[in-house]
Amino acid sequence: MSMLARCLAVSFLITLVAGCAPDVIAPDDVLGEWEKQGESLPPINLVLSRESTRLLARLRLSGVEPNGLARLEGNQLYLDFPNRQPITGAFTSKVRLELRLEKSSGVFVLTKMQ
């Protein structure tokens, strides 16, 4: 294999691997309003904000609006609200969040509002 062919093969592999790696989500990337699109129930709206070093969360879900804390570990989101089971989610991009409310409810996709 010629040197040029090897260089092209290596370049192709690096590009392929880089394209498969998920976006790194920083705390500033998650701040803002997230909403489930479409008319299907339940309507879900999540607002993530910052107070000093803490991430705050406000969840609007079927007429209930608890306030709590959020924690970001890599692309994983953990939400803690008083008197509720913890809620988890995963950011699949900087504008898409897959939120798991309860094991039986499944996963809901939220989109960051501009």
Question: Cα(81)–Cα(95) distance, rounded to whole angstroms?
Answer: 23
CA dihedral 14, 16, 22, 25 (to 10 degrees): 40
Say which amino acid occupies 108: F
Residue 27 has a pLDDT of 87
Residue 2 has a pLDDT of 66
Residue 18 has a pLDDT of 45
Domains and CATH numbers, the chain: 25-112 (2.40.128.20)
Question: Cα(70)–Cα(88) distance, rounded to whole angstroms?
Answer: 10
- Residue from 14, 67, 29 nearest 45 by CA: 67
Is the model's pTM score more than 0.85? no
Residue 9 has a pLDDT of 54
Neighbours of 33 (CB within 10 A): 16
**Over its length of 114 residues, how does the chain's per-residue pLDDT go in tens digits?**
665 555 455 555 455 444 444 567 888 999 999 999 888 888 899 999 999 999 999 999 878 899 999 999 999 999 999 988 889 999 999 999 999 987 667 889 999 997
Do residues 59 and 70 touch, judged by C-beta distance below 8 A? no
Residue 61 has a pLDDT of 86
Question: Cα(48)–Cα(27) distance, rounded to whole angstroms?
Answer: 10
Residue 39 has a pLDDT of 81
